[in-house]
Amino acid sequence: MSIFNFFRAAPRASAVQAKERLQIVMAHERAGRSGPDYLPMLQQELLAVIAKYVNIDENKVEVKLDRGGDCSTLEVNIELPAREQAKAAAAAKTAEKSAGNDVGAAKRPAGGAVGNGGAKKRI
Partner 1 sequence: MSKIIVMTSGKGGVGKTTSSAAFATGLALRGFKTVVIDFDVGLRNLDLVMGCERRVVFDFINVINGEAKLNQALIKDKRIENLYILPTSQTRDKDALTREGVEKVLNELSKDFDYILCDSPAGIERGALMSLYFADHAIIVTNPEVSSVRDSDRILGVLNSRSRRAEQGLEPVTQQLLLTRYDPERVEKGEMLKVDDVLEILAIPLLGVIPESQAVLRASNVGMPVILDEVSNAGLAYSDAVGRFLGEDIEHRFVTPQKKGLFSRLLRRSA
Decide: 108 and 120 in contact? Cβ < 8 Å. no
Which residue, 24 or 71, has its beta carbon nearer to partner 1?
24
Q: Which residues contact 115 (CB under 8 A, 6 or more apart)?
A: 106, 108
Smallest gap from Cβ 36 to partner 1, in A, equals 12
User: How many residues bind to partner 1 according to rule CB under 8 A?
Assistant: 14
Q: Using the rule CB under 8 A, which residue among 33, 52, 93, 97 binds partner 1?
A: 33
The phi, psi pair for 47, rounded to 5°, reads -60, -45
Q: Using the rule CB under 8 A, which residue among 5, 14, 59, 94 binds partner 1?
A: 14
**Integer Cα distance of 45 and 63 in angstroms:** 12
At residue 93's C-alpha, the angle toward residues 82 and 55, to 5°, is 25
- Select the span of 23-31, 37-45, 50-58, 111-119 touching partner 1 (CB under 8 A): 23-31
Binding region for partner 1 (CB under 8 A): 13-16, 18-19, 21-23, 25-26, 29-30, 33
